C-alpha cells in the first residue's frame, strides 16, 4: 500500500477506538520481515504542500503508543519548527547521528545547545543524549590507508568534542557496506557490528 503518516492521522479516530483490532495498524505501516520492525512512511507527494503540525504529531504519537512499545522518530534538525519541538516533547531518549565532517558536527552541536538553552525537559534530553559519530566515507572509491587514518582521527576529534556535553558518544568505523545500497547487518565488518551494538546499548541505558 502507499499509505503514509498523513493517512494514519486521518484514520486516527478509528485506530484509537476500543473496538479496533490491533491488526488494523498493518494498513498504514510497512513490515520489515527479516529485521522485525515496522515503518510508517512520511508523505512522499512532491506536489503536496502539507506540513505536519504539532497537533498532528500528538495524534500520531497517541496512535503509535497504543500499538507499539518502542517508537523511533526520525527527523531533520529544524529546531524552531513546531512539529520538531512537539516530537522533542514526546521523546524519552535523544539520539544524535553525526557524520565526522565539521559542518555537520557543528549543526548537531547547535541543535544540542538550542535544547539546553530551553531548560527543563529539553535540557535534560540534551544532557542525556547519545551521539553516534560515523567516520566519513568516500562513496566513489575505496579509502586508502592514509585516508582511513585521517578519517579515524577526525571522528575521534569530533567525538571528544561532544563527550563533555552528553551522556554517551559512540564512534562507528568506516565500513564499505555502509556506503551505498541497502544496509545488511551480516555484510558489516565485525568491528562495525560491535560498534553498533555498543550504540544500541548506550541508547537502551537511557530508558
CA distance 129 to 137: 24
Residue extents of the structural domains in the chain: 1-87, 91-207
Residue 102, C-alpha cell as written in the block: 565539521
Query: What integer pLDDT is reported at residue 137 of this predicted model?
Result: 64
Query: What integer pLDDT is reported at residue 51 of this predicted model?
Result: 84
CA distance 121 to 112: 12
In this predicted model, what pLDDT tens digit does every residue of 119-172 receive, in sequence order?
999 999 999 999 999 997 654 445 567 777 888 899 999 999 999 999 999 999
**Residue 13 Cα distances to 1, 63, 84, angstroms:** 20, 9, 23
Q: Is the pLDDT of residue 20 over 80?
A: yes
Closest to 28 measured CA to CA, from 61, 50, 1: 1
Mean pLDDT (whole number) for 178-207: 93
Query: What integer pLDDT is reported at residue 134 of this predicted model?
Result: 94
In this predicted model, what pLDDT tens digit does every residue of 51-78 receive, in sequence order?
889 999 999 999 999 999 999 999 877 8
Contact 179, 141 (CB under 8 A): no
Query: What integer pLDDT is reported at residue 144 of this predicted model?
Result: 66
Query: What integer pLDDT is reported at residue 181 of this predicted model?
Result: 84
Query: What integer pLDDT is reported at residue 37 of this predicted model?
Result: 93
- Tell me the three-class secondary structure of 11-42, residue by residue: CHHHHCCCCCCHHHHHHCCEEECCCCEEECCC
Mean pLDDT (whole number) for 99-106: 93
Q: Is the pLDDT of residue 39 over 90?
A: yes
- Tell me the three-class secondary structure of 54-86, residue by residue: HHHHHHHHHHHHHHCCCCCCCCCCCCCCHHHHH
CA distance 152 to 92: 31
Query: What integer pLDDT is reported at residue 140 of this predicted model?
Result: 40
Does domain 91-207 bear CATH number 1.10.10? Answer: no
Single pTM value for the model:
0.89
Question: How many contiguous H segments (helices) and E segments (strands) does the chain have?
Answer: 8, 5
Amino acid at each position: 500500500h502507499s499509505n503514509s503518516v498523513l493517512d494514519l492521522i486521518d484514520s486516527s479516530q478509528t485506530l484509537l477506538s476500543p473496538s479496533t483490532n490491533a491488526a488494523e495498524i498493518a494498513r498504514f505501516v510497512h513490515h520489515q520481515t527479516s529485521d522485525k520492525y515496522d515503518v510508517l512512511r512520511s508523505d512522499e507527494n512532491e506536489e503536496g504542500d502539507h506540513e505536519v503540525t504539532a497537533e498532528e504529531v500528538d495524534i500520531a504519537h497517541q496512535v503509535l503508543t497504543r500499538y507499539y512499545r518502542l517508537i523511533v522518530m526520525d527527523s531533520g534538525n529544524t529546531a524552531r519548527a513546531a512539529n520538531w519541538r512537539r516530537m522533542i516533547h514526546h521523546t524519552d531518549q535523544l539520539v544524535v547521528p553525526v557524520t565526522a565532517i565539521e559542518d555537520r558536527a557543528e549543526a548537531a552541536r547547535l541543535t544540542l545547545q538550542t535544547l539546553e538553552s530551553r531548560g527543563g525537559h529539553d535540557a535534560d534530553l540534551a544532557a542525556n543524549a547519545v551521539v553516534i559519530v560515523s567516520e566519513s566515507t568516500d562513496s566513489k572509491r575505496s579509502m586508502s590507508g592514509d585516508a582511513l587514518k585521517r578519517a579515524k582521527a577526525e571522528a575521534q576529534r569530533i567525538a571528544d568534542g561532544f563527550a563533555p556535553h552528553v551522556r554517551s558518544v559512540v564512534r562507528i568505523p568506516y565500513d564499505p557496506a555502509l556506503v551505498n545500497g541497502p544496509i545488511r547487518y551480516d555484510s558489516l565488518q565485525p568491528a562495525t557490528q560491535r560498534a553498533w551494538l555498543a550504540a544500541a546499548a548506550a541508547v537502551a541505558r537511557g530508558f
